[in-house]
Structure 1
């Protein structure tokens, strides 16, 4: 008979070396982590799940109360039961001693609960709050309820603020200071022009600003030493007579990298850029934006998503403006500007290396302006056309002939055609995502 198989080795954890052996497969290694790390894990969980970790084991029981509170009042807290939601919310705030990392109250039906919401916001559990997300579910939609002033008591500690579907209490704006705020979103908010400019002047660390669908601001004049990204739209859902954004003026923004009209078909009619030396991306423009003034700033790099007809309405006070990359979303196209070799544009002569054309139709108005770059961009390396047509051989041959590719100014330039449809807006979260080098990348092609 064959010798009996050797007994399976008993695996174990060698604690002296800190090495894991097969016997450790069933051990709870997560519970061995330091309290600080476990508390961070708990604070990132949804509110209900975070509270439930108390039942995992004796080791986990105190962690939820010691971790910064992540408090989101939403359907996951109560399984769509409104009365249970309110009861759970009150219980959690009573049980947790604070501090809080996040408070989120979105699309909450107010009715007769204004006092209840105000009481939640005054809870000691929300001390040192870092993130605030607040919106009402409006009934009827034309009536905006005021944001409880208690929501703004956290101004000294807030890092992220998102307010939606509410009326901002303008009378307390002069006293507000946001020394740590890095990200601000106002969506369908009514706020006075003076109140907004006052708040903005006291945001000394702001990096990203998003304004969409608000009312009360007609002329926005932006000066910020820290702002890197600014997304905006002038459309307003708060009544037909609401004051809409008509003008955006970038007066002094030394760190601004992105200027992003979110819904260009709604304007604003005027955009003026006076001083933004680091501006790299200037997104989606349309016939609703009738004037674009590029001040006296010498831009290092700009990405444009513009309908070609708008080019003749662009005013560049300094014609040495440098643009290394151009991206275009086309809309209604009219006659293009002709290039005058006696008055050369520096970016066309020395810098422009990449052009991306989205929503390209291939008809003569499209062709004429695209040809402007083909025949005049002397250091162009690559030009991509995302076309609305199926790029078959016959269509491509016709485009090559119309664009006069044989007469291209840059002999090393490549021309690439792909079938893809473009969208006419940038997703709001892309305006805030500073880690994304190209905010148009995932929104332009369907």
Structure 2
């Protein structure tokens, strides 16, 4: 009989392994031996989306310490502070907290997050997801807590000063998600951040303040900058990247962004004003192109994958874009109509000019016949494609919001957008 080496590992390491398993697989580990039974009870997530009485009973009965907890409530409950101080939540590593409704008669005001949710778990939290709640003012005295282990942070509604204070207190933070965050000018400096997403939709009924200028000031490790649905009314309407030498992924970029500064390169409403900085590290670019504006896209390709001083309205082989000649291997287009001439010209441009293209996926919303698909392939001149190895596919796809993509901060995935663009 082979010796069991796994059971000899420390409890903390075994708990970490179990927490990464699907729930059913994690529960089955209790069958391995008595040694594993308490490990599952501690590692299983506590989903406390229940009534106040039920939450109190669950926390009283749980042997603790729990590794993960999810709490969702309709409104603020006085017992919350007691729950967050429960012995069963000692050394909590992952916390998800959300209110399901806003304050009654408060003009859309959100309930505040209990301070104990931050203070008690600050030394041990690795993942913190806060939704539909207002943070306490971290910039005001007393001094805010430090989060020495926090790697993933997501929240709604936080002031500029509190956000800067919070980021400075997270010394190993890798991913940051900002939802419905209102700011006039937000500067982000972090030596460890690898992924940032910003989602700030306009909600006129609730009077949410729009977000204006996002400045990526000093982020030497940043790989992903993801401003979802940026425009002039929601935000950020202006984006400035000063120092992000490892940036690999950028988007969604929209013509509603009034100003996009990438080093010394300047775009206004997606139109290049000054092309001075090469962004050769960017490998994935997501665009929300209304029109679509082919000239603007060509300018962006010149900036991110190669810089060439001049630009022609129609692609000229005597003035090549290095991206199209040597680098561009995959293109995904959404919401293709097949009727509008600009859509056809846009798709055909890449078919006829991308010389190392491996795959072009064209997503259309309505169900179409095989006859329609054959007609589109003729209009797109697929047989004349520049890359003979390119696979051109037309696929039916459903509208997908990038903000609902749970893979977007999965740093192990080279392209998390692939699950958002087109159904595979």
Q: TM-score, normalised by structure 2?
A: 0.75
**SS of the counterpart of 1:166?**
coil
**C-alpha distance in structure 2 between counterparts of 1:319 and 1:395, whole Å:** 34
Deviation at 1:155, TM superposition (A): 1.9
Post-superposition CA distance 1:42-63 (Å, at most 9, x none): 878999xx99x99x99946993
Equivalences for 1:120-199 in 2 at 5 Å? 120-140=83-103, 142-153=108-119, 154-171=121-138, 175-186=144-155, 189-199=156-166
Equivalences for 1:21-420 in 2 at 5 Å? 36=11, 59=34, 63=38, 68=42, 72-75=46-49, 82-92=52-62, 96=64, 98=65, 100-105=66-71, 107-111=72-76, 113-114=77-78, 116-140=79-103, 142-153=108-119, 154-171=121-138, 175-186=144-155, 189-214=156-181, 216-235=182-201, 240-263=206-229, 267-295=235-263, 296-308=277-289, 309=292, 319=302, 321-322=304-305, 337-339=313-315, 343-362=319-338, 363-388=340-365, 392=369, 395-396=372-373, 398-405=375-382, 408=385, 410-420=386-396
Deviation at 1:234, TM superposition (A): 1.2
Deviation at 1:192, TM superposition (A): 0.9
1:275–1:297 CA contact under 8 A, matched in 2: no
**C-alpha distance in structure 2 between counterparts of 1:199 and 1:382, whole Å:** 42
**C-alpha distance in structure 2 between counterparts of 1:372 and 1:389, whole Å:** 23
2:240–2:262 CA contact under 8 A, matched in 1: yes
Find the counterpart in structure 2 of residue 14 from structure 1: none
Pick the structure with greater CA Rg: 1
Post-superposition CA distance 1:150-209 (Å, at most 9, x none): 1112223221111112111114565332222110111xx321111102211332212111
Deviation at 1:211, TM superposition (A): 1.4
Find the counterpart in structure 1 of residue 269 from structure 2: none
Deviation at 1:307, TM superposition (A): 3.5
Find the counterpart in structure 1 of residue 270 from structure 2: none
**C-alpha distance in structure 2 between counterparts of 1:199 and 1:384, whole Å:** 41
2:113–2:133 CA contact under 8 A, matched in 1: yes
Deviation at 1:341, TM superposition (A): 5.2
Tell me: CA distance 1:431–1:140, structure 2 relative to 1, closer, same or farther (3 Å): same
**C-alpha distance in structure 1 between counterparts of 2:322 and 2:304, whole Å:** 7
Structure 1 stretch 396-405 or stretch 354-363: which is displaced more? 396-405
Tell me: CA distance 1:237–1:121, structure 2 relative to 1, closer, same or farther (3 Å): farther
1:293–1:314 CA contact under 8 A, matched in 2: no
**SS of the counterpart of 2:252?**
coil
**SS of the counterpart of 2:81?**
helix
1:230–1:431 CA contact under 8 A, matched in 2: no
Deviation at 1:117, TM superposition (A): 1.2
**C-alpha distance in structure 2 between counterparts of 1:196 and 1:238, whole Å:** 24
**C-alpha distance in structure 1 between counterparts of 2:178 and 2:46, whole Å:** 23
Find the counterpart in structure 1 of residue 272 from structure 2: none
Tell me: CA distance 1:341–1:273, structure 2 relative to 1, closer, same or farther (3 Å): farther
Unaligned runs of 5+ in 2: 264-276, 307-311
1:353–1:381 CA contact under 8 A, matched in 2: yes
Matched positions, count: 389
1:46–1:70 CA contact under 8 A, matched in 2: no
**SS of the counterpart of 2:162?**
helix
2:336–2:364 CA contact under 8 A, matched in 1: yes
**SS of the counterpart of 2:68?**
strand
Deviation at 1:428, TM superposition (A): 4.3
1:210–1:428 CA contact under 8 A, matched in 2: no
Tell me: CA distance 1:320–1:244, structure 2 relative to 1, closer, same or farther (3 Å): closer
Deviation at 1:305, TM superposition (A): 2.8
